[in-house]
Chain A
Amino acid sequence: MSTLKEFRMDIKPNWCPGCGDFSVLAAIQKSVVSLNIEPEDMALISGIGCSGRISGYVNVYSMHTMHGRALAVAQGVKLANPDLNVICAGGDGDGFGIGLNHFAHAARRNVDITYIVMDNQIYGLTKGQMSPTSPHGMETKSSPGGNPEQPVNPLQMALASGSSFIAQAFSGDVKQLMSLIEQGIKHKGFSFINVFSPCVTFNKILTYEFFKKNLVILEEKKGYDPSNRGMAFNIVEETSSMFTGVLYKNERKTLTESLPKGSGTNMLRQGYFSLNESMKDKLIKRFI
């Protein structure tokens, strides 16, 4: 049985007081304890940005990688060791700006990992420039006249890319956030959880108050069926993405299950390997 204490690090996060990321950190720690995952059986891989620092605050095997490339690293970890619980985490700039390419491909590839994005619609670590999810017209340091661009819609991106589990959460509701993370981890395949995680320093528009006022809970919507992809697309439009809950869920074969027979059965993570005669013949027969 793992305990919350085991997952804690004696390090003070460098986030501003009130930052939404504290809730995500707590929710991840509580979720893995409630799923009875041991620290050594978990890998937390993160990108670059304020939220990317999260991997240093949880006592597991963790890697703080490169801006935008965390998903690629996380998939490599999982493919090399399918027994690990692999969580990948980062921000909206990391995942939907510089890393958008990898997001779409990870979703369609369906490696069994959980991707948590702390979406604050702003670049916080670089002190307040617009992000790919900043709403059109939003004034920031790099859009003083208002954001001239349309934002990326991560939920529709995930749907279009074939993500097999998609949910949205809010840092202001840790209980629901925990439940969604647990569902994401349990889901077999690529699970994506977009978390509205307000930046209290640089985003004065998309605040806790804003989300509290505008978010609807999907589970309370009568007749909503998260296995229906068409319905999922519609609800994103209908609510202008202002909802929390499981948007879409439909298990399909993971990449590991789809690879040619034998793949991943002997990754030689430890120990030594030597070629015997029959293996040698297999290797060289084509070249003789």
Chain B
Amino acid sequence: MEELTIVIGGEQGEGIESVGEILTKVLSQMGFSLYGFRNFSSRIKGGHSDFNLRICTGKEIYVNAEKVNILVAFDKASIDLYLDQMDNSSIILFDSKSVKSDSFPLPKDGVIVIEAPFQELASELGSPIMKNMVALGMICALNNQSGSVFHQVIKNRFIKKGTKTAELNIEAFEKGYAFIQEKNLYSIPLGPVMNSKNMFLSGNEAMVIGAIAAGCRFMAGYPITPASEVLENLIQMMPEFGGVVVQAEDELSSIAMAIGASFAGTRSMTATSGPGISLMQEAIGLSGAIEVPLVIIDTQRGGPSSGLATKMEQSDLTAMLGGTHGEIPRIIISPSTVQEALYDMGTAFNLAEKYQCPVFIAADLVLATSKQSAEILDPLKFEMDRGKRVTDEELAEQGKVVFDRFAFTKDHISPRTIPGQKNGTHHATGIEHGETGHPTEDYKNREKMMIKRMNKIETATLGEDIKTEGNGEDLLIIGFGSTYGAIKEASEGFNMKGIKTGLAQIRLLHPFPADQLESLINKARQVIVVENNFTGQLANVIKQHISDHSKIQKLSKFDGRPFKPSDISNFCKELV
């Protein structure tokens, strides 16, 4: 087979993550393309959780498949949730210790249901906890993977708990493996691998690597789902690179610390989700007013208020675009794959320093937490642009007492000095100010300063501000962020049927690439804007910038689940 989907589901705390980690580590090293989405609840133990892993021998994948080939069910919810995604070659493995065989309806013809004694086999080794490794063994046997290649990875995973534990887990794996082999059950072998060696990582992890590679050396954050991984990974990795990471007392402090560190010259960032963005509003305004570079990651989740903390949504776009009182310049970048999330960090820090303003990374829960294969990091893609920095020599020549930090210039960007530089002292204040930074209410100065700040970002670009694929003559599908995978597959499906379909994933949300998008829209017969929010925030932004609204239709999903390709193709079927 060219692709295979495995789902492992159960109560949180049943070791589902370990199964996923080990399985993906091995498969990724073997060169398969992977996409893994973790479905989880906002609690530690209990509550259903599952890991949905799609494995491909060839093409790159950016979304889960809609068909499940192997389902490992530790709980009944796993079966309830995935039963309608099974077809006549799918396999369900369940343990009658935790799921009664008469508690779920008989699946469609052809679905193979196997009673698998995960718990019993693990208990034979002394601990039912190891049932997850028993299940892993069964999965590997089912798709004809060699068991021995898993041993080292299992050992590495459990060695922290002692050699004995590691060995027992390997035994548990072998027991599961043998169970399938002995019964001479079924197998779904995967075809040969087409790709070279890959990284396999989440968007959160990619943004961490990207930040460090981009020269970010200060981060302050406050734990929040689903952005905590950024803080945790940076705390672990940053010291080796000489930087500082602080877990602050709240988001107000996180962003304020990052502004302070940036004022001092260091590339600085914070990472949060919706509620944190709400708390940071005032500081976002300060960084805009005093023209301090800043990178803010917003991994959007279900809102408003506490909303759906562990579920998918893209409803902070309006907050990122217009948040804070008054008007400030800002740049908003939207990565749509893990690979983009990685390299966008380099771009974000360059743009922040070049344009001296806050730069948002508009990530979302699916991008942040699901893991994808990505090509090995290329350091050459991280060339630093530190913007208009004044050298010590230039300052010595100027010999000014107070530096004109906010000088009016042709491109509206003022040369910048940092503490420690002689003759570079200046004042920075959120009050309207003149060229030295000192407060003034002079109306002429106010007008000039507003024009300077607001217009300076006009030239900001990512190079590729809209990612386009396909010819959208019949249908153009527009989206941003992680919806890319579902849009791509829906669009490919239409193209195979002869409907000329194109996709346009907006990568730079502000300043908005209006002209480019307008010409794409003009060429299309039907236009649909796909996004995970109620009001159609992206569609509304597009309508602000495009004169002809007649073709634009909205497809919104706000139930907390990511888009499936079929959500999009079913909606579009009516149109084309």
User: Does A250 reach chain B (CB closer than 8 Å)?
Assistant: no
Q: Which of A6, A42, A265 has the most CB of B within 10 A?
A: A265
B487 to chain A, nearest CB (A): 26
CB-based contact A59/B237 at 8 Å: no
User: Does A72 reach chain B (CB closer than 8 Å)?
Assistant: yes
User: Does A55 reach chain B (CB closer than 8 Å)?
Assistant: yes
B430 proximity list for chain A (CB < 8 A): 64-66
Asked whether A105 and B425 contact (CB < 8 A) given A280-B379, A283-B237, the answer is no
Q: Mark B417-435, 1 if CB is under 8 A from A, else 0.
A: 0111111111111110000
Asked whether A40 and B419 contact (CB < 8 A) given A56-B427, A66-B286, A283-B209, the answer is yes
CB-based contact B260/A45 at 8 Å: yes
A61 proximity list for chain B (CB < 8 A): 263, 418-419, 424-426
CB-based contact A40/B243 at 8 Å: no
B253 proximity list for chain A (CB < 8 A): 69, 72, 101-102, 105
A282 proximity list for chain B (CB < 8 A): 237, 240
**Interface 9-residue window, one of A80-88, A126-134, A197-205, A234-242:** A80-88
User: Does A76 reach chain B (CB closer than 8 Å)?
Assistant: yes
B259 proximity list for chain A (CB < 8 A): 65, 73, 76
A283 proximity list for chain B (CB < 8 A): 209, 212-213, 237, 377
**Interface 9-residue window, one of A144-152, A170-178, A214-222, A271-279:** A271-279
A135 proximity list for chain B (CB < 8 A): none
A66 to chain B, nearest CB (A): 5
CB-based contact B256/A272 at 8 Å: no
CB-based contact B213/A275 at 8 Å: yes
Asked whether A284 and B240 contact (CB < 8 A) given A77-B263, A79-B261, the answer is no
**Interface 9-residue window, one of B60-68, B265-273, B447-455, B499-507:** B265-273
CB-based contact B199/A81 at 8 Å: no
A65 proximity list for chain B (CB < 8 A): 256, 259, 286, 430
CB-based contact B428/A63 at 8 Å: yes
For this complex, into which size category does the number of interface residues on chain B fall?
35 or more
B283 proximity list for chain A (CB < 8 A): 66, 69
B268 proximity list for chain A (CB < 8 A): 76, 80
User: Does A288 reach chain B (CB closer than 8 Å)?
Assistant: yes
User: Does A267 reach chain B (CB closer than 8 Å)?
Assistant: yes
User: Does B231 reach chain A (CB closer than 8 Å)?
Assistant: no
B87 to chain A, nearest CB (A): 33
Closest 4 CB pairs of A and B: A76-B260, A266-B242, A269-B265, A72-B256
Further 11 A-B residue pairs, CB within 8 A, beyond A62-B428, A69-B252, A268-B217: A72-B256, A80-B266, A84-B420, A263-B244, A268-B267, A270-B386, A272-B215, A273-B215, A275-B382, A288-B197, A288-B200
Listed in ascending order, the chain B residues whose CB lies under 8 Å from chain A are: 28-29, 197-201, 205, 209, 212-213, 215, 217-218, 220, 237-246, 248-250, 252-254, 256-268, 282-283, 286, 290, 376-377, 379, 382-384, 386, 389, 401-402, 418-431, 438-439
